[in-house]
Amino acid sequence: MGTSPPLTYKIATEDWELEAIHRLNYKTFVEEIPQHQANPDKKLIDTFHDENTYFICLQGDRLIGMVAVRANRPFSLDKKLDRLESYLPEALREGRSMCEIRLLAMDKAYRSSRIAYKLLQKMGQYCERQGYDLWLISGTTEQIRLYEHIGFKPFGPLVGAPGAQFQPMYLRFESIESRFW
């Protein structure tokens, strides 16, 4: 019996890592959550790919999980909610440096592990260095309990189409420090 390679957490930089991200995006956001159309390449390149910073978990050369962050507006949520800030609590509407957390995806075999938590921890350290103090997500309705456990709070109405609905959620950096550090 051989041992599995250790898990590595890092920012994706290699071409093969980006290709693996596109394949995991396809499995997650085309095959599982019918948010995008199928294609023969079985790859989904995110609309904001060139602006995303991808945090990944690898086991050897196998992509186990990923999450992306970006701070450039408009966010994907801006396109789903007119006047996005108007849905946020008033205390969060000004003086915040917002980023959007996107594309949290895990290999099915690892979904009950702490890998997503560790990815968010690594991303949180990056976001702290960048000065992002308010995280926004479109959380799949099937994982609302996970997001709330992490500390995300719902705001605004559900977005998306039936079968692929998402809850806009936010997390203040101050509320995650004790959870991740």
Nearest Cα to Cα of residue 129 among 170, 50, 71, 48? 71
The whole-number average pLDDT for the span 137-164 is 88
- Could you give the CA distance from residue 3 to residue 169 in angstroms, rounded to a whole number? 39
**Residue 101 burial by CB count (10 A; 0-12/13-18/19+): exposed, middle or buried?**
buried
pLDDT at 2: 62
Token pair belonging to 123: 């991303």
The whole-number average pLDDT for the span 16-44 is 90
pLDDT at 181: 45
Residue 33, pLDDT above cutoff 80: no
Domain-wise residue ranges, the chain: 7-176
Residue 131, pLDDT above cutoff 60: yes
Q: Which CATH superfamily is domain 7-176 in?
A: Gcn5-related N-acetyltransferase (GNAT) (3.40.630.30)
Segment 44-100, tens digit of pLDDT: 899 999 999 999 999 999 999 999 999 999 999 999 999 999 999 988 888 889 999
Q: What is the pTM of this model?
A: 0.89
pLDDT at 180: 53
pLDDT at 27: 93
